[in-house]
Structure 1
Amino acid sequence: KGKKVMVQLHGEKAPRLIKFLEDRGAHVFKVLPYQHIAPNSEIVKKLCNELMNNEIDAVCFTTTIQVRSLFDFAKEHDYYQEIRQVFKEQVVAVAVGKVTAEALKEEEIQRIIVPEKERMGAMIIELSRFYAN
């Protein structure tokens, strides 16, 4: 109560966190050092088509907003159920860390590789280990 709290946002607003802090009397300052710029819709459409045509084995996600962006696009273009099914049966989702993995779980994606050390290099090492087995 009465404390100043700075929250670093990662491309998304965090309304539940901000409300939680404000409800307890904190003075919240939000910092957004990284901004997500949505890719050209033709690129996302191509990714969706490649996923649905079984041309991709794994997709690496480095932020929650990437997860939301892909699945929102899939919903808007009626690919959502197919994309979810592809991740369920063939494609492995790779998350850079537990926050990104949680966003995938919210989309009901269960086949997720998450490195113990939340770094991109560690993510790629875990993916290579997955395919080595």
Structure 2
Amino acid sequence: MNEKYCNYLTDDGGIIIHMKGLNGKIIGVAAARKADVISTLIQKNGGTPKLFPIQGEQQLNESICEENVRELLVTHFDMVVLTTGVGAETLENTAHRLNQHSNFIQKLERSTLAIRGSKTLKWIKNNSLSAKFIAEDGTMDSLLAAMATEQAYTGKHLFLQAYNQDDVNLKKSLENLGYHVYLSKPYQFMPPDDKTLKDLKQAILDQSLDAVIFTSKTQVQNLFQTSAEQIVKALNKKVLAVAVGKVTAAELGKKGVINVFQPEKQKMGALVVELSDYYIKTPPTDEF
């Protein structure tokens, strides 16, 4: 196979020959989860990955999880809102540990469910559950808009699974709709390693990267804690910000980043392949 091309196996066993559009490109990866998979895909498409895992370590608080599950089981909730697949799985694992898994699933079966995110949707399907409200575009704004159509929600009790990044604003938004909100925070993300964060910022400011791949809004929020204005300028000039999906892209937009690339399919593999295609179709330039 020519070094300018790579091939992919299709589901039916066929082979797709694809040009390596990342030849000569240095791509930063802000993710920790599946960073090795993303790196392999970048290399397969001719690029050089550089890892800057700035997600921050996920921290589970077992006592809070147990308290959340017990509250869910003994309290009447008119609606249960699940915002992340990790959060739903964490609560489920805690129910297993408390020997309450069957009761946990049955409680959710009897509840009106509202969910956000593809991983959360996959989780409820795996547990043979169904949701009345689903964020069509994967964002909380979309989910809140759908929930606002619910009749007579004032005074109803709602179980909200969230994590530390957006819990206060989200709880307030739901209370403004008229709900009494119980906040469940089964996990949170700790701050990322200072050196890793500093190294990524410097690489962006030095414009030594051609692009940076972000796979969550948490990574974006961590990056912009300091030096935000300079980072925005660098991302809008030469370093292309790449977002795996709409939520991450929206967070970059909120920070002022105008040039954001996101794939049509919100999957890791599609992201790298479509980024490769983007560079094939985009002529070299000093600025985007």
Q: Could you tell me the TM-score, scaled by structure 2's length? A: 0.40
**Counterpart selection for 2:217 from 64, 67, 71:** 64
The partner residue of 1:48 within 201, 214, 228 is: 201
TM alignment of 1:70-109, pairs within 5 A: 70-72=223-225, 75=226, 79-109=227-257
Q: Structure 1 segments of 4 or more deviating over 6 A? A: none
The aligned residue for residue 176 of structure 2 is 23
- String of CA shifts for 1:67-94, please: whole Å, max 9, x gaps: 110010xx2xxx3332111101101111
Pick from 190, 200, 208 the counterpart of residue 37 of structure 1: 190
Q: What SS does structure 2 have at the residue aligned with 1:88? A: helix
Aligned twin of 2:261: 113
Is the Cα contact below 8 Å between 2:192 and 2:222 reproduced in 1?
Answer: no
Q: TM-score, normalised by structure 1?
A: 0.80
How far has the Cα of 1:105 moved from its partner?
Answer: 0.7
Alpha-carbon separation, structure 1, partners of 2:173 and 2:198: 37
Question: Are the counterparts in 2 of residues 11 and 65 from structure 1 also a CA contact under 8 Å?
Answer: no
Deviates more, 1:25-34 or 1:61-70: 25-34
Distance 2:163 2:243 in 1: 15
Any gaps of 5 or more consecutive residues in structure 2? 1-152, 282-288
Report how many residues are paired: 128
CA contact (8 A) 1:8 1:33 kept: yes
How many Å separate the matches in 1 of 2:235 and 2:204? 9
Deviation of 1:118 (Å): 2.4
> CA separation in 2, counterparts of 1:35 and 1:116?
29
Q: Deviations over 1:44-83 (max 9, x none)?
A: 11111111222111111111111110010xx2xxx33321
Q: Which residue of 1 aligns with 2:113?
A: none
Q: Which segment is superposed worse, 50-59 or 31-40?
A: 31-40
Which whole-Å CA distance do the structure 1 matches of 2:198 and 2:158 have between them? 40
User: Which amino acid counterpart does residue 100 of structure 1 have in structure 2?
Assistant: T
Distance in structure 2 (CA, Å) of the matches to 1:25 and 1:107: 30
Structure 1 regions of 5+ residues with no counterpart? none
Note the aligned Cα RMSD (angstroms). 2.2
State, as a whole percentage, how many aligned pairs show the same letter: 37
Partner of 1:129: 277
* 2:246 maps to amino acid: K
Tell me which amino acid in the other structure corresponds to 2:213: C
1:95 partner letter: A
Q: Shift of the alpha carbon at 1:98?
A: 1.1
CA 1:24–1:54 in structure 2 vs 1: closer, same or farther (change >3 Å)?
Answer: closer
